[in-house]
Amino acid sequence: MRLNTIKPGLGAKRTRLRVGRGASAGQGKTCGRGVKGQRARKGGYHKVGFEGGQMPLQRRLPKIGFRSAMKASRAELTLSDLMRVEGTEVTLAGLIEANLVPENTKLVKIILSGRVAKAYIVKDKAVTATKGAKSAVESAGGRFEA
């Protein structure tokens, strides 16, 4: 087989149908478009999803759910996750570096789940805590400086 001998498969390329060339040509007068109406007109067609006036499917189905754009920039951190932080200082940059929160995180909230043994010093305004988590960190000897 050579490149100059390759041809498309049999019936793969059909010649364009020349419409409007008289009755004997097979597609004369209406050119296969039927009689009158929107579909017979040049450039006349309906919008996507139009069902002839019937309520379209996308409007018949109920609206469900909501995806918050803020969700990507917020993160939760449990007290047991906090134990994986190197050292005693907790900052947003340190949490991102330790792979405890995603890179695009802007605000972190520490929640009460698990126990804390070290005295952590939270030095960032971007890192907040729930009431219970704050009291747990402070009872372990830590503090919030933001």
Task: Tell me the per-residue pLDDT of 72-121, one tens digit each, with 9 for 90 and over.
Answer: 999 999 999 998 888 889 999 999 999 999 999 999 999 999 999 999 99
Sorted by where each starts, the structural domains of the chain and their CATH numbers stand as: 18-61 (no CATH), 70-144 (3.100.10.10)
Output the pLDDT for position 39.
86
For 109, how many CA atoms within 13 A lie in the half-sphere containing its CB?
Answer: 9
- Note the pTM of the prediction, 2 decimals: 0.58
pLDDT recorded at residue 44? 79
Q: pLDDT tens digits, residue range 121-136? A: 999 899 999 999 999 9
Judging by beta carbons within 10 Å of its beta carbon (0-12, 13-18, 19+), is residue 61 exposed, middle or buried?
exposed
Q: Would you list the DSSP string of 86-113?
A: SSSEE-HHHHHHTTSS-TT--EEEEE--
Non-local CB neighbours of 56 within 8 Å, separated by 6+ positions: 49, 50
pLDDT of residue 43: 86
